[in-house]
Structure 1
Amino acid sequence: MGLLSGCSLAISDAFALLCIKFGYSPAQVLLVKSLAMMAIMIPLLIYKRIDILKLKRKDTVLNIVKSICENAGDIFFYYGMDAIGMGDATSIAAGSMPIFSPLFACIFIQEKCRFHDCIGLVINVAGIILISQPEFIFGNGTNPSSSIGYVYSILAGLFLSTGTVCSRAMSNELSLIVVIFYNGVLGTVLTLILVVPTSNHRMYSLILDYPITIPYIVGMVIWFLAYLYSFNRALQVQSAGKTSILLNISLIVSFLADVIVFHKHVVNGEIIGATLIIFSSIVVFLVTCYETKQNKNEETTLILKPQQHSTGLDKKP
């Protein structure tokens, strides 16, 4: 689910960036996604007979904070994509999440940070430095629009990490329908405030002028729904740090989209940095598989021991 969420997010973001290139503002794009999430989830809430007014107070507060942070992170991320390209923005945002998420998880929900998690964090930091190439390290002048794009991307990682920890702290029995519904409601409220002052064109005029954006919007919504479900499902069964690192698989799709769809020239430093971040994802994936196998073996041993005692199988001949 962690890997699936990364691929789904990158495909959705590619469609979103295509819309932004046609003149849509990030607030307009996010407003469409939020309205779609509400429209899809309301019938499911009715069908499942879920009363959102009867949720635990803790889950309600966490959903509100999570939705505000994630939607704010999405807005910063879209501005970052527009300024520095999809591959770089994804690398910075997704690469900073494994830094902020374990830190916040340790502070607020007392999740443990193990040695291999720290190794993944260091690799991610190295990858981010190679991609962004800050002037105080490399000594080269940076385009002001690129600098603000890097800042937007880091802020996106910060806000998305906060939402990740909120999702991790929710009750395990909480339906993901509720989580996605809150994301749509708070996203709609936030973007309705921002859409007028940040948009140069009315959405209906853009749709009439560029009907090709209709399938882009549909694809963006479908893949974003797949991301929300798979990412929050992964957080129900896995730590925030591991899930954030596995999300980095989105870098592969993002850089492919940069080269194939947006015809962006990718330099060696960006490729090396992205490779380091992807390498950390592979390490975490292998470690997670090993830990899962060990836990299953331990559980099997604990189950078999009482059975052996009761049947006398453990007695020596």
Structure 2
Amino acid sequence: MSSPSKEKDGAGKCSRIVGFMFALLAAIGWALGGLLFKYVKDAGADDLQFARSLLQFIVTLPILTYRKEKLFQDDLKTNLLLILRGLTGVGGNWFYFSSIKFIPLSDAISVMSSYITLVCLFACICLKERCTVIEALLSIVTFVGLILVARPSFLFGNLASESAGDLMIGILLAFASAICTTASFVIVRYLGSEIHYSITMLHYSWVGVIYSLASAASKGSLRIPCMEDLLLVSLAAVIGILGHMFGTVALQKEKAGPVAVVQSTQIIFALILQLMFLGYSPTLTSLFGSLVIFVSSVVLTLIRIRDSGRQEQNVDTK
């Protein structure tokens, strides 16, 4: 891949701030979606994927029609990337919600959030984005903070409460989600803001519907969940749609690496939600990790705003 096209809407300081705000909203949405799925009893990841994809299709189609956008573009490469974006997005979502059934929410998000460092690496390699030493260090610091907050049992012990088999399955599923999420981030950033978010979301929708139906049918689990699970799955799907939309807009306004770092704050929101609704009490290590994440995110934001301010001053002086 070559470097993405330059977007006018992503050049100014205001656009960068908007990108960070949408990234933060996406992090909140993903944490809420994970919490809701924790309450689901019988429905699985296929049911949630189908509900989310179908609702997203219903919501997105009128937007795409109103804007007179084309689902398939003129060149083959862009179409292939859009379909690949749908596949990686669906895969990342399915792996993430599957992992929650095997390990605690904070552990799942901790492993899945390894995409932070992966995005910075692949954005630098594939998109030729500039990655300074400070940004690289902040990514590492953020990842360390994530580990401190989640205290994953595979690093800190405490394996007595869960079987080693379930733990390993959950870790592998969460890491597979991280790989898919990394690919999605890089593809969206490569496509740029010239591709409206409704196009990528609609590709995600039809791919998700086909995949979830095929997966459920192959396993013989194609059924309608009970009313309680249906309501929770539908609500989680709506929140997931909003998170998807916010995340896509954020990637169109700011570079992939910084957006990934900001969205890593979802672990903090997951920790708070677990404390409020699931009865998980944070430890001093978790609180320290939360502080590390917040500080690194704030520092990164200030650096980006400073850099964009310098770019504007250079443009004005020319």
TM range (shorter): 0.7 to 0.9
Alignment equivalent of 2:199, drawn from 172, 178, 202: 178
Which position in structure 2 is the counterpart of 1:227? 243
1:124 has 2:142 as partner:
yes
Alignment equivalent of 1:202, drawn from 202, 223, 241: 223
- Map Cα deviations across residues 218-238 of structure 1 (whole Å, 9 max, x no partner): 432332222122211111121
**CA spacing shift, 1:141–1:254, aligned 2, 3 Å:** closer
Is there any run of 5+ residues in structure 2 with no aligned partner, and where?
1-21
Indicate if the aligned counterparts of 2:48 and 2:237 stay in contact, CA closer than 8 A.
no
Q: Give the 3-state SS of the residue equivalent to 2:26 in structure 1.
A: helix
Structure number with bigger Rg? 1
Q: CA RMSD in A?
A: 2.4
**Distance in structure 2 (CA, Å) of the matches to 1:77 and 1:86:** 10
How far did residue 50 of structure 1 move?
2.0
**CA spacing shift, 1:133–1:3, aligned 2, 3 Å:** same
- Name the aligned partner's letter for residue 97 of structure 1: Y
Alignment equivalent of 2:302, drawn from 283, 286, 306: 286
Q: Give the 3-state SS of the residue equivalent to 1:83 in structure 2.
A: coil
1:242 has 2:258 as partner:
yes
How far did residue 165 of structure 1 move?
0.2
Which position in structure 2 is the counterpart of 1:305? none
**Distance in structure 1 (CA, Å) of the matches to 2:171 and 2:290:** 15
Task: Report how many residues are paired.
Answer: 292
**Distance in structure 2 (CA, Å) of the matches to 1:184 and 1:301:** 46
1:187 has 2:208 as partner:
yes
User: After alignment, is 265-274 or 63-72 more displaced?
Assistant: 265-274
- Map Cα deviations across residues 81-108 of structure 1 (whole Å, 9 max, x no partner): 22222222122212x1111111111222
Which position in structure 2 is the counterpart of 1:309? none
Return structure 1 stretches of 4+ with deviation > 6 angstroms.
none
Alignment equivalent of 2:102, drawn from 80, 83, 86: 83
- Map Cα deviations across residues 133-186 of structure 1 (whole Å, 9 max, x no partner): 545xx6775741223322222221111011110111104311111011011111
Alignment equivalent of 1:216, drawn from 209, 226, 232: 232
Identity over aligned residues, as a percent?
18
**CA spacing shift, 1:132–1:291, aligned 2, 3 Å:** same
Indicate if the aligned counterparts of 1:88 and 1:270 stay in contact, CA closer than 8 A.
no
- Map Cα deviations across residues 23-75 of structure 1 (whole Å, 9 max, x no partner): 11011111100111111122222222222234432321111111111211111
Which structure is higher in helix share?
1
1:31 has 2:50 as partner:
yes
- Name the aligned partner's letter for residue 207 of structure 2: L
Indicate if the aligned counterparts of 1:87 and 1:255 stay in contact, CA closer than 8 A.
yes
1:1-317 aligned at under 5 Å gives the runs 1-19=22-40, 22-94=41-113, 96-130=114-148, 131-132=151-152, 134=154, 143-144=163-164, 145-197=166-218, 202-204=223-225, 206-207=226-227, 210=228, 213-302=229-318
**CA spacing shift, 1:146–1:45, aligned 2, 3 Å:** same
**CA spacing shift, 1:264–1:167, aligned 2, 3 Å:** same
TM-score by length of 1: 0.83
How far did residue 276 of structure 1 move?
3.1
Indicate if the aligned counterparts of 1:83 and 1:146 stay in contact, CA closer than 8 A.
yes
- Name the aligned partner's letter for residue 180 of structure 1: M
- Name the aligned partner's letter for residue 276 of structure 1: V
**Distance in structure 1 (CA, Å) of the matches to 2:219 and 2:296:** 37
How far did residue 197 of structure 1 move?
4.6
